[in-house]
Structure 1
Amino acid sequence: MVVGNEIGRSYPITFMVVINPDGTVRDVEIMVYREPHGWEVRFEPFMSQFFGRNAKNPFNDINNITGATLSVRSMTRG
């Protein structure tokens, strides 16, 4: 498990990533979301896009959420 912070629009988004022994993502959870907008990134349909990926996978195909562009970019970067 790794805990990280990425700046959203103005405030950090604190999240946790659980990694399988083979290096793929098992789970992603947002622990603290401080922004007033873009909270939709906390939901399973968005987070499940990361499952099974590893650091070598391109992340340019993560679907965006209208109104949460900066939060999506922050979580993808993280």
Structure 2
Amino acid sequence: MKLADDVDLERVGKDTHGFVGADLAALCSEADFQCIREKMDVIDLEDDTIDAEVLNSMAVTNERFQTTLASTILQP
């Protein structure tokens, strides 16, 4: 997972107090999946490769972590 420069891992750590490893893995995976979903319109699923420019533009931002965290906490 590529992280954007604005990601504050200390803040993520404070916001996830009480999470176990599996919770953190799920949070990171979901934030990463959301990043991929945003780029699905420019990814050709029929192609064997993904353009390097598209890959380089994908990075999980601090906002994505916070949004994913908020939706994770609100789910029953």
Structures share a fold, TM > 0.5?
no
Q: Normalised by the shorter chain, which TM-score bucket?
A: under 0.3
| Larger helix percent | 2
Calculate the TM-score normalised by the size of structure 1.
Answer: 0.25
Calculate the TM-score normalised by the size of structure 2.
Answer: 0.25
Task: Compare relative contact order (CA 8 Å, sep 6+) and give the higher one, 1 or 2.
Answer: 2
* CA radius of gyration, larger in: 2
| Larger strand percent | 1
